Amino acid sequence: MTSQTTLLTPRSPTSSAYAYFSLGMLLAASLDGVRSGQRVPADHWRTVKLLVTGGAGYIGGVVAAKLAEAGHAVTVLDDLSTGHADAVPAGTTFLPGSLRDDAKAALGNDTDAILHFAAHSLVGESVGNPAKYWSNNLGGTLALLDAMLQTGTRKIVFSSTAAVYGEPESVPITETAPTRPTSPYGASKLAVDTTLAEYARMHGLGAVSLRYFNVAGAYQAASGQWLGERHDTETHLIPTVLQRGMTGKAIQIFGTDYPTPDGTCVRDYIHVADLADAHLLALGACEAGRHRVYNLGNGTGFSNREVVDACRSVTGLDIPAEEAPRRAGDPAVLVASSALIRVELGWHAARDLRDMIDDAWRFTQARSAQ
Ligand code: UDP
């Protein structure tokens, strides 16, 4: 274990995320003492050592930044297949590499926990190329779990997806809803969730899976660095609307005849910074031998038309919209229930749709100014 000790002061004493994570740090300190056979001074919390896989990507990057800002030693492992080297947050150690070949070296023998984001995540692509998803998402995770067992890392927080539920029978979707993924992407994530439950049972790992739908917004790290969505081919609604807004092109609204109040699909949006806080809470909730699953969302859906209107209002731009046919595979309404994580871990979404669009817009403008 690292000999470095740090007195960590929660940045926001009112944030339950930090309260929970402090508990995790204390546990790490006492575990350290047990392993080394020495007493850990009660007033010393050593730096928690964490591995963030996929930390050069959108969500992993924001989580890595927040963990580093909280004073933890963060290593980012990312093969840059979809991430960007310049999106790795300042204050972390970047190790370019793959789960299969480099996880063991990245963990060393003193990593306390993993936050696992590295995965392919395009539903449409997964339908056309399922092998890519099974190999990378499940195969890569199995390699990571092997490396955990070999190195003694005992905790893992997994970025799963609400796509594991498939077409919902009712909304909001709870954790007990049937899991019937409709894409290889969702199926590969569900297989990882199942694997984590087995590894927790068999090997005593502490694991938490977080399942969520539409993530939006951006995060400006304490270093000033903006972290946000940077897909080579952007398909998500909010960044697409904002990009169209910048270029004056029309946004196509896919489907206007759904059984919803305004005929367009309804989705559950969550701010990437709120999602990051949930990951910090989940880390504190990893318990040996247990696999927990939590859904995340803002509890309220927004229709595609409402999102476009909100983008117009935030940017002040008259973004034109045109009606287009339905996009294959789009369910009418996807909204998750966050009741369980609210009750058990005290998480809540602190940011609303306007905050998400506002931050995504700042990020878009910051990038276009580069
Ligand atoms: N959408 C749209 N036009 C676009 C992109 C997306 O109308 O240019 C719609 C899409 O059909 C869905 C909603 O916006 O109803 C959210 O899609 P997104 O791809 O952002 O996330 P998903 O819910 O598919 O994960």
Is 351 domain-assigned?
no
Instruction: Read off the pTM.
Output: 0.89
Is 85 domain-assigned?
yes
The answer to whether the CB of 265 falls within 8 A of the CB of 305 is no
Q: Give the mean model confidence (pLDDT) for residues 68-78.
A: 97
Rounded distance from Cα 237 to ligand 1 centre (Å):
5
Closest Cα to atom 25, ligand 1: which residue?
A: 214
Q: Which of 133, 185, 199, 294 is catalytic?
A: 185
Is 347 domain-assigned?
no
- Measure the CA angle with vertex 244, ends 125 and 87; round to 5°: 60
Which residue in the block uniquely carries the two structure tokens 């470095």? 4
Question: Which tens digits make up the pLDDT trace of 4-14?
Answer: 323 232 333 33
Mutate which of 125, 182, 267 for ligand 1 pocket (most atoms within 8 A of beta carbon)? 267
Rounded distance from Cα 236 to ligand 1 centre (Å):
5
CATH number at residue 185: 3.40.50.720
Q: Which domain holds residue 61?
A: 5-218+270-297
Q: Give the mean model confidence (pLDDT) for residues 206-228.
A: 97
Rounded distance from Cα 46 to ligand 1 centre (Å):
44
Rounded distance from Cα 153 to ligand 1 centre (Å):
38
- pLDDT over threshold 70, residue 28: no
Rounded distance from Cα 180 to ligand 1 centre (Å):
21
Residue 258 among the catalytic residues: no
Question: Which tens digits make up the pLDDT trace of 185-203?
Answer: 999 999 999 999 999 999 9
pLDDT score at 281: 97
Is 246 domain-assigned?
no
Mutate which of 254, 262, 298 for ligand 1 pocket (most atoms within 8 A of beta carbon)? 254
pLDDT score at 45: 55
The domain total for the chain is 1
- Closest approach atom of ligand 1 to CA 334: 23
Burial 261-297 (b: 16+ CB within 10 A, else e): eebbbbbbbbbbbbbbbbbbbbbbbbeeeebbbbbbb
Is 155 domain-assigned?
yes
* Pocket of ligand 1 from Cβ distances under 6 Å: 214, 235-237, 240, 251-254, 265, 267, 304, 327, 330
Is 176 domain-assigned?
yes
Q: Give the mean model confidence (pLDDT) for residues 38-51.
A: 63
- pLDDT over threshold 80, residue 115: yes
Is 240 domain-assigned?
no
